[in-house]
Amino acid sequence: MSEEEKEKYMDQITVKAETLIEALPYIRDFNNKIVVVKYGGSAMLDKKLEESVIKDVALLKLVGMRPIIVHGGGKEISKWIGKVGKETEFIEGFRKTDRETMEVAEMVLNRLNKYLVQMVEKIGVKAIGICGKDGGMLRVDKKMPNGKDIGFVGDIKHVNTEILETLLDNDYIPIIAPIGMDDAGETYNINADDAACAIAGAIKAEKLAFLTDVDGVCMNPDDSSSLISVLDLNEANKLIEAGVISGGMLPKVTNCINAVNAGVGRVHILDGRREHCLLLEFFTKKGIGTAIIGDDSGYYSNEIEQ
Amino acid sequence: MSEEEKEKYMDQITVKAETLIEALPYIRDFNNKIVVVKYGGSAMLDKKLEESVIKDVALLKLVGMRPIIVHGGGKEISKWIGKVGKETEFIEGFRKTDRETMEVAEMVLNRLNKYLVQMVEKIGVKAIGICGKDGGMLRVDKKMPNGKDIGFVGDIKHVNTEILETLLDNDYIPIIAPIGMDDAGETYNINADDAACAIAGAIKAEKLAFLTDVDGVCMNPDDSSSLISVLDLNEANKLIEAGVISGGMLPKVTNCINAVNAGVGRVHILDGRREHCLLLEFFTKKGIGTAIIGDDSGYYSNEIEQ
Amino acid sequence: MSEEEKEKYMDQITVKAETLIEALPYIRDFNNKIVVVKYGGSAMLDKKLEESVIKDVALLKLVGMRPIIVHGGGKEISKWIGKVGKETEFIEGFRKTDRETMEVAEMVLNRLNKYLVQMVEKIGVKAIGICGKDGGMLRVDKKMPNGKDIGFVGDIKHVNTEILETLLDNDYIPIIAPIGMDDAGETYNINADDAACAIAGAIKAEKLAFLTDVDGVCMNPDDSSSLISVLDLNEANKLIEAGVISGGMLPKVTNCINAVNAGVGRVHILDGRREHCLLLEFFTKKGIGTAIIGDDSGYYSNEIEQ
Amino acid sequence: MSEEEKEKYMDQITVKAETLIEALPYIRDFNNKIVVVKYGGSAMLDKKLEESVIKDVALLKLVGMRPIIVHGGGKEISKWIGKVGKETEFIEGFRKTDRETMEVAEMVLNRLNKYLVQMVEKIGVKAIGICGKDGGMLRVDKKMPNGKDIGFVGDIKHVNTEILETLLDNDYIPIIAPIGMDDAGETYNINADDAACAIAGAIKAEKLAFLTDVDGVCMNPDDSSSLISVLDLNEANKLIEAGVISGGMLPKVTNCINAVNAGVGRVHILDGRREHCLLLEFFTKKGIGTAIIGDDSGYYSNEIEQ
Amino acid sequence: MSEEEKEKYMDQITVKAETLIEALPYIRDFNNKIVVVKYGGSAMLDKKLEESVIKDVALLKLVGMRPIIVHGGGKEISKWIGKVGKETEFIEGFRKTDRETMEVAEMVLNRLNKYLVQMVEKIGVKAIGICGKDGGMLRVDKKMPNGKDIGFVGDIKHVNTEILETLLDNDYIPIIAPIGMDDAGETYNINADDAACAIAGAIKAEKLAFLTDVDGVCMNPDDSSSLISVLDLNEANKLIEAGVISGGMLPKVTNCINAVNAGVGRVHILDGRREHCLLLEFFTKKGIGTAIIGDDSGYYSNEIEQ
Amino acid sequence: MSEEEKEKYMDQITVKAETLIEALPYIRDFNNKIVVVKYGGSAMLDKKLEESVIKDVALLKLVGMRPIIVHGGGKEISKWIGKVGKETEFIEGFRKTDRETMEVAEMVLNRLNKYLVQMVEKIGVKAIGICGKDGGMLRVDKKMPNGKDIGFVGDIKHVNTEILETLLDNDYIPIIAPIGMDDAGETYNINADDAACAIAGAIKAEKLAFLTDVDGVCMNPDDSSSLISVLDLNEANKLIEAGVISGGMLPKVTNCINAVNAGVGRVHILDGRREHCLLLEFFTKKGIGTAIIGDDSGYYSNEIEQ
């Protein structure tokens, strides 16, 4: 080894030691904690990103966390609705979901669901794919935007976490398709972001992470270096009032705020296009996205108690 | 009440008391025992029979048994393959299952699966719908009839019962779609009768019941009064040799024999077209179908020990 | 089988299925529930009825209930008091129980007690015979009717249920002779109906059943078809005020009311002369005797929850 | 305090300290150990001795041992048989026990049994009185001395210890009347010494103590100072051969030898006429009676391990 | 045996029986109870007394109590400070403890501590030697008598009993050197009496025993026959006010009063120069020293409940 | 952020992600595993290295491993032996350890022991300092090199791991001073490397790490780039025969071989002068020292199972 190589090697060793010292206390803190990952967007369409997400989730499980995946599948549904020769009607910006559309959606989402199970099982970690009808997990009411009937689209009114607890206690990763049942036993489609929020809140998850197609919340959306690492509820509300958080980011942040208010410890908006974004966000001090928290009082010390 | 009414009432009371005295020891014997119900055929196509089967299974659960449902869905698959405009090719009598056919089959079976979950949940009993990929339950090899490749049709080579035990221990009725995974992680379709047999054998079920479209095994197939209530392995084999069991009944009985040899206590061939056939078979001395057992040495006494 | 036989067979099958569907939800509801049976009267003097009662109680145990038997023995006591050449004196309608009478009563009741143990053990169910002195179960004060001393006749002032819980938890049927101890350690005779009430109330039994020599409570005592199946406390009190419940039935119903007020779920007055009266009362909707309940708000649905 | 008083006080203190140092290791060694006490003879007929025995047994329980009492009652049975005007016939030296004699014996023994329960309960320790029919504990064959039928006298052929274990585990002192049941469910009388031996052997008791009317085994029966404190099986057999052990002592010692061979740790022959004989035998080095042991290899060190 | 010998033997037997009857209820009452023994003074300097104390503590453990030893070591510390050539300075009557003195004290106390462990282990009982730094057991503040800095001498401000509970639950005798740590992690010396009091109070010990060089509290200090066996808090305070308790006895009794107020059941001042003083105090009615109790309401009955 | 900064940041992020992906499977594999760290040499004399070692051990505990520290203290012992004015004699290369030397050694080692406890407790992790006398952990024979008596120097003949298991199960880090007891209860000094080996072998540790003053085993001792990362027993023996392993490295490697043969999973020779050497060795693929293993068959995959 030349002197230069040696030096480079020592630098690398030093970064490794620092990374470990940085990460280990989080690993302790997160032991047995529940993390809900909303999986969707670009990270679901690219084979390499898909593998990176699945591997990250499996690693979270391996080091003692209890992950839950909630997934969407809108693009795939549209594809199959086309295949069976149906047209789609929009009401108040929502796709009207008649019984046949619901039937196709349920078929597509359940297959996608089992596909993700397969991905996790292939790397040796236990997974089970369920929807909100299993164990009566998601009970919904019919969504009526502006009082209009848009078919079988549901608003969650109750989450029965019993089935999730059984699966988590037995070391399975639950993978959830966003489908629910109303009091009459009818099947409904649910928005995946809403499902993830409701589930994380009901089960008092430590973390809820949204894999999105943006870096996180930025002071200036065009400058990724203006990314905000941590936002407390107070600051988040101020940025909304000031118009800094707006457009497509507004409903996402609103969802995060609701989840924190429902008892989730920390909600993360991550760029799902970046490989291993979950590990980097959870196990480094600075993280790589934006975390929304209840208050800014230090939450995790990331230092061994002195 | 007239004297005649009184007498009729007393008769009825007497039958009730006898039925209870007949049934209660079975209920004790079957407490905590696992029963696998293969659900298919006519019982799956008629709304009223469907309700009767679901109610019976729920009652079995309520009195302490641990039921598992394995279902088929061939007719529904054919319907949707037609809908997406595909033709079906047959090889050696099997439908060739290419990747797209498999995709449709998986969608259809999983939806059907969740529909059955919904039926059970609606009457207040907990159920979870899974396929053989969940928890790595069903591992298959490619089926090669006469060495020919018929696509994604699998032979089960291993059943991992861990997920079933978790669900049963937590009071869920597992409802299983017959889909598996090979060592490379590919998805395969499985014959539902085979899946029910393999699962019942692996989990050492007390009972395996096939809901069929016949009365059971008859000495004379045209005379339902020649129905045989109990057959031991020895007798079954003799009837096969003698040609009494033949035609469509032959593979069914062969399946039953295999299941008994694999450790299932008693395998029942029932007429799924008769309402409450499961209750009548399990909780009366004579039953209403044919039971195949390991040997004829008394098995259940149906008498309180004297 | 002729057409007529077939039809009759099918009718019978139908009644059986209905009986099972009627009974199974009760079996679930009563699982692990405690039922106290006061055993006495004609049912104790006829060999066949005795066997029917013992078999019913054993079956209740087999399907998961936790029965307790409290028995009397007045006739047998009288017989032995005669044998040893004693005369009996009556005060205020009570038999005066001097020390020697008490000694004979204790001998007789304990032997009877062990005889019942023997009956239950013979059909393969575990039983233990105890009296109120064992484990300090029944603590009494001296009964003083109109301030007169009638000897060793006791009023229960405390029930220590610890010994019963130990026996029930270990799957024994406790069989109890109505004998107790006062604070000074003296032995007392107790009325068996009172003992059954006190024990059922103290252990918060689900059910208390009195085997009597009448059908139950009838609007017209001479017409058994005027039997009332279910009475709530309110109605019972009204019928007492109205004089419908009177005579020998009055103290029985008063006892039932007290038991319900002490926390027993449902108290049954049954005709012990009818075979299998316990099974028919507990596992059919209509029952065959009169049940006294706290209120009439539906108590058991006897329907699987919809 | 005078010098003399002081000295006496100091002497007394010294004996107390020595007694404690002597006793404490035994208390440790005997913790949770089962001791069967055969209670009969003079100790049962004298009020003061009765109290001393009951108090000793209660103290054994209090310091952590698990005592079981087996009692006789021959004299009381004879008294009541006389009362009801029966004569007794003897065959081969045994009292012929016809059905009515058995009935009286059962009544008397069960009442005596509950009387002992009462004695123990009065000093605040939990007791339950059972006979060999409870929990199917003692199963017998008919005894046929020289092939002659002497009625309902039984030889124990099986001890079911389940009920004893339940009672001991729940801190009750089981008090046992020597009555059993044959395979046909008939009731039999059993010799109390035999019952104590069979029970101690079956439950692998640490100790079995016979309260008798002699000091123990003496080299010279007329000289109580020739008492033998400890005898191993070998020595015992030699003394029998040499005729030193003979007469009424012979069957007692034979019984002891059988018990040791059946797995009882140590069998004690004690003088029940001496107050607190159980405490003095168990908690002092020399003891006050004769102990029969398996071999003489030091069994208890009675010294804290050095 | 002569008549005289016999009589003497019988007397001795009688004392033994009485001692046992006196002691056994205490043994029951003290089962699993914690007793803290402050070991110091003459009993620590004499080889024979040392053995007697260690043996007593081991016996307390053997019969089911849970002893803790807290020891001092002042004389040994002085010896070693001399050996390393240091002088000692006194401030306000306290030895000034600079860092080097503390270092020597820690070395000496820890060695002494392990020596006691060795003594207990040698007689076959499990022991572990710890100081207040282990498991963060003793947290101190700097002691500032009259505002003066006397170095590393600490006042206990918190006792973390977790480590003690772990050791006791696993059947170890904890042996404790009186050393603690302040919030900055500095090491401090602690007065052993204070440490014993604080520990006994924090762990809610049943008993705290001080081995001293006096008989106990006497009405007349020069007359050991004026010893007071039991003092309640009220009486103790009166004797202090009256000047009967004064001099060196005053701080001891004050310590006892504090311990009782902190929740210790009974605090004993014993003469450590008397062999087996712990056994005699704990297991006889009169005891041999002075016990300080919360109130005089009978505390232990020393009688089996009647 | 400039482009260059961004690139550097991304590089750093990439190393971090890689380090985590590399480390996480080890963290899973090592969960609940025992690791014995022999702490001595330079790492014990430098304040900064001391802190690094203590922090590493605390982190190992935090992420779920169960560390045990065994420490030496030769230099400190020599210092204090000088302080008390003693000379040291050497026999066969060993320091002669007379009783006074042993006394000083015990004092010094125990104080050092509690100092390490203090260091660990200060960073909020639970620790207990024990020596081989506590709980009878280390039983020794006198070491007799070439048959010569060198005083109180011991060879371990038995390790009682009970105390270690209790402490580990209760989440304490045991910190061990290498002192033991012979059968007669005498105190002996033990070589710390030997103690670490014996303890790791007895408790079947997953890992044993020696903190030394060399890089590890090098093919060429003068070229640290010739370091061998992993050696199986076979290779190690060959290198010894070939003379590559020789000098001071020889006894170390021999010790490692013995430990592996005694059941330790993997023994590590690390350079204690390198900060965080424990983390880098355990949680990176290449490690930074030399690991001796039983065979080279892949041991840890460091890959999620595929």
**Cβ neighbours of C130 in D, within 8 Å:** 128-130
User: What is the model's pLDDT at position E95?
Assistant: 81
Is E74 annotated in a binding site? The answer is yes
Q: Which residues of B touch A (CB under 8 A)?
A: 80, 83-84, 103, 106-108, 110-111, 113-114, 117-118, 121-122, 126-131, 133-136, 162-163, 166-167, 170, 172, 179, 181, 185, 187
Write down which chains contact chain A via at least 3 CB pairs under 8 A. Answer: B, F
- pLDDT surpasses 70 at C301: no
DSSP string, D5-54: HHHHHHHHHHHHHHHHHHHHHHHHHTTT-EEEEEE-GGGGT-HHHHHHHH
Q: Which residues of D are annotated as a binding site?
A: 73-74, 95, 189
**Per-residue model confidence as pLDDT tens digits over F265-290:** 999 999 999 999 999 999 999 899 99
- Contact between E185 and F122 using a beta-carbon 8 Å cutoff: yes
- Contact between B166 and A166 using a beta-carbon 8 Å cutoff: yes
Quote the minimal CA–CA distance from C56 to chain B in Å. Answer: 8
More confident residue, C89 or B193: B193
User: What is the model's pLDDT at position C298?
Assistant: 45
Mean of pLDDT values over C162-169:
97
- Chain D residue with Cα closest to C107: D107
**Percent of chain A residues past pLDDT 70, beyond the cut:** 96
Q: In sequence order, what E strands does chain B have?
A: 34-39, 66-71, 90-91, 94-95, 127-131, 138-142, 154-159, 173-177, 179-181, 187-189, 207-212, 230-232, 266-271, 290-293
Number of Cβ atoms within 10 Å of the Cβ of A158 = 14
- Contact between E118 and F179 using a beta-carbon 8 Å cutoff: no
Touch of A by D (3+ CB pairs closer than 8 Å): no
- pLDDT surpasses 90 at D302: no
Number of Cβ atoms within 10 Å of the Cβ of A22 = 18
- Chain F residue with Cα closest to E80: F84
How sure is the predictor about A248, in pLDDT bands with cuts at 50, 70 and 90? Answer: confident
Please state, in angstroms and rounded to a whole number, the distance separating the CA atoms of residues F120 and E136: 10
- Chain D residue with Cα closest to E306: D123
User: What is the model's pLDDT at position D167?
Assistant: 98
- pLDDT surpasses 80 at C295: no
Q: Which residues, in sequence order, are CB contacts of C258 under 8 Å at separation 6+?
A: C197, C201
Of A2-16, A144-158, A286-300, which range is least confident? A286-300
- Chain D residue with Cα closest to E3: D225
| Disruptive mutation site among C107, C108, C125, C183 for chain D (greatest number of D CBs within 10 Å) | C107
User: What is the model's pLDDT at position D10?
Assistant: 80
- pLDDT surpasses 90 at C121: yes
Mean of pLDDT values over B6-31:
86
Tokens at C121, concatenated: 């053990």
Please state, in angstroms and rounded to a whole number, the distance separating the CA atoms of residues E161 and E36: 13
Quote the minimal CA–CA distance from E232 to chain D in Å. Answer: 25
Tokens at F108, concatenated: 């010094």
Query: What are residue F12's DSSP bridge partners?
Result: none
Mean of pLDDT values over D269-293:
93
User: What is the model's pLDDT at position B305?
Assistant: 37
**Cβ neighbours of A125 in F, within 8 Å:** 304
**Per-residue model confidence as pLDDT tens digits over A31-45:** 899 999 999 888 888
The torsion defined by the Cα of E237, E242, E246 and E251, in degrees rounded to 10, comes to 20
Give the residue among E145, E237, E125, E130 at the shortest CA–CA distance from E177.
Answer: E130
Lay out the sheet containing E179-181: strands in order across: E154-159, E138-142, E179-181, E187-189
User: What is the model's pLDDT at position E298?
Assistant: 45
- Contact between F225 and A62 using a beta-carbon 8 Å cutoff: no
- pLDDT surpasses 60 at A304: no
User: What is the model's pLDDT at position E302?
Assistant: 37
User: What is the model's pLDDT at position A1?
Assistant: 63
| Disruptive mutation site among B69, B128, B183 for chain A (greatest number of A CBs within 10 Å) | B128
Give the highest mean pLDDT range of B139-143, E27-31, F75-79: B139-143
Number of Cβ atoms within 10 Å of the Cβ of A155 = 17
Phi, psi (rounded to 5 degrees) for E57: -60, -40
**Percent of chain B residues past pLDDT 70, beyond the cut:** 96
- pLDDT surpasses 80 at C231: yes
Through-space distance between the first and last CA atoms of chain C, rounded to whole angstroms: 39
**Per-residue model confidence as pLDDT tens digits over F220-271:** 878 888 999 999 999 999 999 999 999 888 988 999 999 999 999 999 999 9
- Contact between F127 and E106 using a beta-carbon 8 Å cutoff: no
Touch of E by B (3+ CB pairs closer than 8 Å): no
More confident residue, D236 or D7: D236
How sure is the predictor about D305, in pLDDT bands with cuts at 50, 70 and 90? Answer: very low
- pLDDT surpasses 80 at E121: yes
- Chain E residue with Cα closest to F104: E107
- Contact between B128 and A134 using a beta-carbon 8 Å cutoff: yes
Phi, psi (rounded to 5 degrees) for F193: -60, -45
User: What is the model's pLDDT at position C15?
Assistant: 87
**Percent of chain F residues past pLDDT 90, beyond the cut:** 66
User: What is the model's pLDDT at position D1?
Assistant: 62
How sure is the predictor about F1, in pLDDT bands with cuts at 50, 70 and 90? Answer: low
- pLDDT surpasses 70 at E31: yes
**Per-residue model confidence as pLDDT tens digits over D102-136:** 999 999 999 999 999 999 999 889 999 999 999 99
**Per-residue model confidence as pLDDT tens digits over A176-201:** 999 999 999 999 999 999 999 999 99
- Which member of A107, A113, A122 has the closest CB to residue B108? A107
- pLDDT surpasses 90 at A239: yes
Mean of pLDDT values over F166-190:
96
Global pTM reads: 0.83
- Contact between A163 and B130 using a beta-carbon 8 Å cutoff: no
Number of Cβ atoms within 10 Å of the Cβ of C303 = 12
Q: What is the ipTM of this complex?
A: 0.91
User: What is the model's pLDDT at position C95?
Assistant: 81
Percent of chain A that is helix, strand, coil (3-state, to 5): 45, 20, 35
- Which member of F24, F123, F288 has the closest CB to residue A63? F24
**Per-residue model confidence as pLDDT tens digits over F109-160:** 999 999 999 999 998 899 999 999 999 999 999 999 889 999 999 999 999 9
**Cβ neighbours of E66 in D, within 8 Å:** none
**Cβ neighbours of E131 in F, within 8 Å:** 114, 129
Using CB atoms within 10 Å of the CB of residue D148, give its burial: 0 to 12 exposed, 13 to 18 middle, 19+ buried.
exposed
**Per-residue model confidence as pLDDT tens digits over C183-230:** 999 999 999 999 999 999 999 999 999 999 989 999 988 888 899 999
| Disruptive mutation site among F57, F63, F222, F229 for chain A (greatest number of A CBs within 10 Å) | F63
**Cβ neighbours of B31 in C, within 8 Å:** 64
Q: Is C223 helix (H, G, I), strand (E, B) or coil?
A: coil
Please state, in angstroms and rounded to a whole number, the distance separating the CA atoms of residues F210 and F193: 8
- Which member of F17, F19, F124 has the closest CB to residue A20? F19
- Chain B residue with Cα closest to C2: B225
Q: Which residues of A touch B (CB under 8 A)?
A: 80, 83-84, 103, 106-108, 110-111, 113-114, 117-118, 121-122, 126-131, 133-136, 162-163, 166-167, 170, 172, 179, 181, 185, 187
- pLDDT surpasses 90 at B92: no
How sure is the predictor about F86, in pLDDT bands with cuts at 50, 70 and 90? Answer: confident
- Domains of chain D, each with CATH number or no CATH: 67-192 (3.40.1160.10)
DSSP D135: G
- pLDDT surpasses 80 at C108: yes
Touch of F by E (3+ CB pairs closer than 8 Å): yes
Q: Is D159 helix (H, G, I), strand (E, B) or coil?
A: strand
Mean of pLDDT values over A258-272:
94
How much is the mean pLDDT over chain B?
Answer: 90
- Chain E residue with Cα closest to F125: E135
User: What is the model's pLDDT at position E7?
Assistant: 81
**Cβ neighbours of C167 in D, within 8 Å:** 166
Query: Which contacts of B220-227 are long-range, i.e. CB under 8 A and separated by 24 or more positions?
Result: B221/B249, B225/C1, B225/C6, B227/B289, B227/B290
| Disruptive mutation site among D114, D172, D181, D189 for chain C (greatest number of C CBs within 10 Å) | D114
**Cβ neighbours of A167 in B, within 8 Å:** 166
Mean of pLDDT values over A216-237:
90
User: What is the model's pLDDT at position A12?
Assistant: 82
A171 φψ region: left (φ > 0), alpha (ψ -120 to 50), beta (else): left
User: What is the model's pLDDT at position F28?
Assistant: 84
User: What is the model's pLDDT at position B89?
Assistant: 83
Give the residue among C179, F12, C240 at the shortest CA–CA distance from D110.
Answer: C179
- Contact between B21 and C275 using a beta-carbon 8 Å cutoff: no
- pLDDT surpasses 60 at C14: yes
More confident residue, F66 or B17: F66
Percent of chain B that is helix, strand, coil (3-state, to 5): 45, 20, 35
Give the residue among B242, B202, B191, B197 at the shortest CA–CA distance from B219.
Answer: B242
Is F95 annotated in a binding site? The answer is yes
- Which member of B122, B128, B135 has the closest CB to residue A135? B128
- pLDDT surpasses 50 at A301: no
- Contact between A27 and F31 using a beta-carbon 8 Å cutoff: no
Mean of pLDDT values over B136-156:
94
- pLDDT surpasses 70 at B239: yes
Write down which chains contact chain D via at least 3 CB pairs under 8 A. Answer: C, E
Quote the minimal CA–CA distance from A240 to chain F in Å. Answer: 26
Please state, in angstroms and rounded to a whole number, the distance separating the CA atoms of residues A225 and A239: 17
User: What is the model's pLDDT at position D306?
Assistant: 32
| Disruptive mutation site among F8, F16, F303 for chain A (greatest number of A CBs within 10 Å) | F16
Q: Which residues of B are annotated as a binding site for substrate?
A: 73-74, 95, 189
- Contact between B23 and C25 using a beta-carbon 8 Å cutoff: no
| Disruptive mutation site among E14, E15, E24, E304 for chain D (greatest number of D CBs within 10 Å) | E24
Tokens at F232, concatenated: 């199986």
Is F154 annotated in a binding site? The answer is no
User: What is the model's pLDDT at position A85?
Assistant: 83
Q: Which residues, in sequence order, are CB contacts of F51 under 8 Å at separation 6+?
A: F119
**Per-residue model confidence as pLDDT tens digits over E204-248:** 999 999 999 989 999 987 888 899 999 999 999 999 999 999 988
Give the residue among A293, C10, F157, C157 at the shortest CA–CA distance from B276.
Answer: C10
